[in-house]
Structure 1
């Protein structure tokens, strides 16, 4: 009898190459190795404990729990550059309006969660303009356009008052 030789073929291992940029939102002073942050960093070969310690130290001056957009540029030698941006725009708008969550169906019209002034919008834009991604966007254009709109509204209001005065006399 002859013996049949069977060879077991190993499965090919597919190596996943992750992009060098990791973009995520992390709450200030609350980075931990727990999911979802821990697995994201671990897959890229970073030391999760050191990353969390550095992030929490960097955000020590910010109120705990504020969501911060974070960009991590990972190099092939497993070192990284950490870029922490200003809080998210949605969080800033909710804080300015004094609401916990946004409108559930804003597309239907008529439903809104809160009211903010143009000054709030300008202050949020000024704060967000400090981010590296928003560098070079001029706020002066916004102010010039806003002045023109306000001037037009004042002229219309004066015309309406003059028309009302003519009708009442």
Structure 2
């Protein structure tokens, strides 16, 4: 009987919405989040926008400069920060799809699945960030988290989907 209650508790805990503080803690693995600008969370997704207190990535972030490096780290279960001054996050995702269809498709799914948790302004902001050349695209496939950051403007968008 205890096992049934434990299993039910674990299922319900996995479905509970994420808090703004949990989203901030996740972003803080790679960046320096400040003020929360917007937040939405449900059973299947979370989206949050933050101002950044510092215009750079944390030293601990695994930064990659090409798709092959990104694919290798993703295959190891590691989160990667992808950035190319000439490419937007949308362009980076296309390069990743060309290098490894499965990894690229998973990234695209992680970006699009949280849409129900975004308001109209956050959706527009996400579109703007996705098309900003030089913006950073951080992907953690294990956690199904994507962070898109424009370090120049000092903003970051956190997206998390749950199956």
Same fold (TM over 0.5): no
Instruction: Report which of the two has the higher share of strand.
Output: 2
TM-score of the two chains, using structure 2 as the length reference = 0.30
TM-score of the two chains, using structure 1 as the length reference = 0.29
